[in-house]
Amino acid sequence: MMKRLYNIGYNIGHRGAFLILLGMSYIFYGFSFKYFPIHAKTDLGFSLHTWFWIWMITGTFCVARAFGPSDRFAYGLAALASAAWSTRWLIIWIFSSEDHAWSISALWALITCAILLVSTWQEKGCRPKIERDRE
């Protein structure tokens, strides 16, 4: 039993583990829009119910793709969702009187950068072989 659990963890790797954590945080963040809506002055075309579904679908897809052979699309979708959320708060800050919106936008922009950074990592078994110079 423990060997099977170890093999699952080994097959997921660091990128998959980060994708599971990211997906779960997106799912939990999406639930906040379902039951505790954030009241912003502008919605920019999307209602909070729509954002609920965006976060839930993105989070579920990230968790599911962590176990699959390729996770590129999941990282791209996660980065797109957080970049759109960051842009939303930036526009709210520019066109409304919400003074704290710039900090939320900056935070989500940094989360987007972290997602893009982790998406470039390679797993242990996938590192390119470097030939050493012979003396």
Within a domain: 53: yes
CB-hemisphere CA count at 13 Å for 10?
Answer: 7
pLDDT digit string (tens) for the chain, length 135 residues? 655 555 555 578 888 999 999 999 999 999 888 775 555 444 566 777 788 899 999 999 999 999 888 888 999 999 999 999 999 889 888 888 778 889 999 999 999 999 999 998 887 654 444 454 454
Domain that holds residue 93: 15-121
**Is 97 a member of any domain?**
yes
Q: Is residue 134 part of a domain?
A: no
Q: What values do phi and psi take at 100, rounded to 5?
A: -90, -5
pTM equals: 0.79
Q: How many structural domains are present in the chain? A: 1
Of 108, 118, 12, nearest in space to 64 by CA? 12
